[in-house]
Amino acid sequence: MCEFCLKHGEGKKWYLQAENYSDDLLSDVRRRKYIESFFTDIESHKKGIDRLKKLEKAPSFIRAIVGRLISRKMKKVHYGQVVPIEDIEQIFGFVNSIVRVACICRHITLGSEKRYCYGVSIAPDGGRFGEIVRGLDRSFLHGPDTDGFERLSKDEAISALRSHEREGLCHSVWTFHAPFIAGVCNCDRSDCLAMRCTVTQGIPIMFRAEYVASVDPDQCNGCRQCMRVCQFGAISYSVANKKAVIDQRQCYGCGICRSVCTKDAIRLEARSDVPVAATLW
Ligand code: SF4
Ligand code: SF4
**Poorest-pLDDT segment among 63-72, 137-146, 230-239:** 137-146
Pairing status of strand 80-82 against strand 206-207: parallel
Provide the pLDDT for residue 173.
96
Q: What whole-number percentage of the chain has pLDDT above 90?
A: 58
- Which ligand 1 atom is nearest residue 257's CA? 1
pLDDT band at 145 (very low <50, low <70, confident <90, very high): very low
Provide the pLDDT for residue 37.
79
The answer, yes or no, to whether residue 143 has pLDDT greater than 50, is: no
Provide the pLDDT for residue 148.
55
Provide the pLDDT for residue 144.
38
Phi, psi of 121 (to 5 degrees): -155, 145
- Nearest to residue 84, comparing CAs of 277, 273, 280, 271? 271
Helix H or strand E segment including 53: helix 42-56
Q: Is residue 123 helix, strand or coil?
A: coil
pLDDT tens-digit series, residues 170-187? 999 999 999 999 899 999
Nearest CA to ligand 1 atom 3: 220
Query: Does the beta carbon of 261 lie inside 6 Å of ligand 2?
Result: no
Burial 121-160 (b: 16+ CB within 10 A, else e): bbbeebbbbbebbeebeeebbeeeeeeebbebeeeebbeb
Provide the pLDDT for residue 22.
85
- Residue 216: Cβ within 10 Å count: 13
CA 28 to chain centre: 24
- What is the whole-number distance in angstroms between the Cα of residue 141 and the centre of ligand 2? 31
- What is the whole-number distance in angstroms between the Cα of residue 44 and the centre of ligand 2? 32
Mean pLDDT of 83-102: 90
Query: Does the beta carbon of 181 lie inside 6 Å of ligand 1?
Result: no
- Which ligand 2 atom is nearest residue 268's CA? 7
- Nearest to residue 110, comparing CAs of 193, 233, 203, 41? 193
The answer, yes or no, to whether residue 279 has pLDDT greater than 80, is: yes
- What is the whole-number distance in angstroms between the Cα of residue 168 and the centre of ligand 2? 10
CA distance 29 to 8: 20
- Ligand 2 pocket mutation pick from 211, 243, 251 by most atoms within 8 angstroms of CB: 251
The answer, yes or no, to whether residue 140 has pLDDT greater than 90, is: no
Query: Which CATH number does 211-273 carry?
Result: 3.30.70.20
CA distance 132 to 101: 13
pLDDT band at 158 (very low <50, low <70, confident <90, very high): very high
Mean pLDDT of 154-161: 94
- Listed by start position, the domains of the chain span 3-207, 211-273
- What is the whole-number distance in angstroms between the Cα of residue 59 and the centre of ligand 1? 41
**Poorest-pLDDT segment among 15-19, 23-27, 137-141, 263-267:** 137-141
- Which ligand 2 atom is nearest residue 256's CA? 5
Higher pLDDT, 169 or 150: 169
- Nearest 5°: the CA angle 78, 80, 84 is 160
- Ligand 1 pocket mutation pick from 165, 166, 216, 225 by most atoms within 8 angstroms of CB: 225
Mean pLDDT of 239-248: 96
pLDDT tens-digit series, residues 18-47? 999 988 888 888 888 888 778 777 788 888
Query: Does the beta carbon of 179 lie inside 6 Å of ligand 2?
Result: no
Handedness of CA 226, 231, 232, 236 (dihedral sign): positive
pLDDT band at 139 (very low <50, low <70, confident <90, very high): low
pLDDT tens-digit series, residues 188-209? 988 888 998 999 889 999 999 9
Gyration radius of the chain over CA positions: 19
Query: Does the beta carbon of 253 lie inside 6 Å of ligand 2?
Result: yes
Provide the pLDDT for residue 126.
53
Provide the pLDDT for residue 229.
93
- Which ligand 1 atom is nearest residue 225's CA? 1
Query: Does the beta carbon of 256 lie inside 6 Å of ligand 2?
Result: yes
Q: What whole-number percentage of the chain has pLDDT above 70?
A: 90
Provide the pLDDT for residue 260.
93
- Ligand 2 pocket mutation pick from 254, 261, 264, 281 by most atoms within 8 angstroms of CB: 254
**Average model confidence (pLDDT) for the chain?**
87
